[in-house]
Structures are given as structure tokens and as C-alpha cells.
Amino acid sequence: MTTPTIQNLFSGLAQDAHEEKIVALLSAPNVRVDRIVSNGQASPPDFWWDQEWAEWVVLLTGGAGILFEGEKTPHELRPGDYVHIPAHVRHRIEWTHKEQPTIWLAVHFR
Amino acid sequence: MTTPTIQNLFSGLAQDAHEEKIVALLSAPNVRVDRIVSNGQASPPDFWWDQEWAEWVVLLTGGAGILFEGEKTPHELRPGDYVHIPAHVRHRIEWTHKEQPTIWLAVHFR
């Protein structure tokens, strides 16, 4: 048996500090864990996420505003905040923190 | 449609500061996300975890030593460290941080 490998969530953040970067940390038939690092990005105007799989997402650093379709005001997410977004619940990211990286851990599942 | 509810990972840590506490944050047919808070606990002597489901686990605060069967020395886990433990890969927690809570986010899946 090969010993499981230990890696770190916060490594490799310095590269691409101005882009939004998604890395799959785990990929299995029914679940995928992504690390998303945002640096001030937001969803494009009028764009809505409408996903086939459900998503459980936690914000670890930084901050963001998430808007669910049908609501008027985005919810502010701070470190430690998590939310379960069922499949096809439309939502968009209105803003992410401008001065520090926003690190998300997203568990997509079916 | 009901709007998804936002909750925080770090809330409710003060209670049971001397126990180890597991809370299911998400429970779905193929995936379960647990928050585990350890306060110096370790696996009992000669106890090995041997799980039906695979586990992807990240340590967010504190520290811990994890030992995989067949190895002589535990791996030290620090904040941000994560590891994918396939089903039935036997392992034990040799120690967790004595002075601060160790918060784990465990994604169990099949």
C-alpha cells in the first residue's frame, strides 16, 4: 500500500495573484473538491451559476458577496462561512475581497 | 425556493472545550461533511480507523499527528494540510494540539 500524500491548501498562492484559479484537490465519481482562489473577481454581469451537481462551499480567507436568484441583496461571506447550494439553485458572486486572496473550498457532489 | 442558509464553521467552539466533538455540516447519500473539533484527544492505544467510505480531510487550526498502518512515525499535520484516505486504509491520530482547538473538515464519500 502506498501511504497517502499530505499536501497543503495554502501552498502555491503566490502564482497568478491577479487571476482567479481553480485547482481540483480531489476528483471521485460522486464528489469533487476544488480550491478556488479569487483576487477581486466577480461573476460577469447577468451571469448566473446553474450547476448540475450540488455544492457545499466554505470561504476560508478573504470575503465575498453571494447573490441567490430572487433576492435583492447579496449575502456577505466572511472566513468560516459555509453554504449548501442545491443543484440548479442559481447564484452569482457579486464581489470578492480586493486586497487579499479569497480562498474557497468547494465540495461538488451528486 | 428557499434561500440557502449561511452558517459559520467557527461558531459554537466554546462549548465542550475539553471534549472531542463531531458535527455533520452536510449529509447526502454519497457524501458527508463533518466538522471535528479535538482538544488534545488521540485515538485510544491500539485503535485503528478502518472506514467503509473514503475520507478527504483538511486540518484548519491546531495540529495533529496521523499515523498510517505500516509506518513507524506519525506525519505532523499543520493548518491547511489535507490528505485523501481511501476506504479501509488504516490510520490513527497519535496526538492533537494541547493548547488550542484542532479543527478538521472531513469529507466522507463513496
Residue A19's pLDDT is: 85
Q: Which among B8, B26, B85 has the least Cβ separation from residue A4?
A: B85
Quick one: what percent of chain A has pLDDT higher than 90?
Answer: 89
CA distance B37 to B101: 6
In eight-state DSSP terms, residue A9 is T
Mean pLDDT of B18-24: 90
* Residue A43: other Cβ atoms inside 10 A: 16
ipTM: 0.94
Contact B33/A60, CB-based, under 8 Å? Answer: no
Residue A49's pLDDT is: 97
* Residue B20: other Cβ atoms inside 10 A: 16
Residue A15's pLDDT is: 66
Q: Which among B9, B75, B83 has the least Cβ separation from residue A58?
A: B9
Q: Read off the pLDDT of residues B84-96 as tens digits, 9 standing for 90 and up.
A: 999 999 999 999 9
Chain B residues with CB-CB distance to A31 below 8 A: 30-31, 56, 107, 109
Residue of B nearest to A85 (CA): B4
Residue of B nearest to A57 (CA): B6
Residue A13's pLDDT is: 81
Q: Which among B4, B54, B82 has the least Cβ separation from residue A89?
A: B4
Shortest CA gap A70–chain B (Å):
9
Residue A1's pLDDT is: 60
Give the model's confidence band at B77: pLDDT under 50 very low, under 70 low, under 90 confident, else very high. very high
Residue A16's pLDDT is: 63
Shortest CA gap A3–chain B (Å):
7
Residue A14's pLDDT is: 72
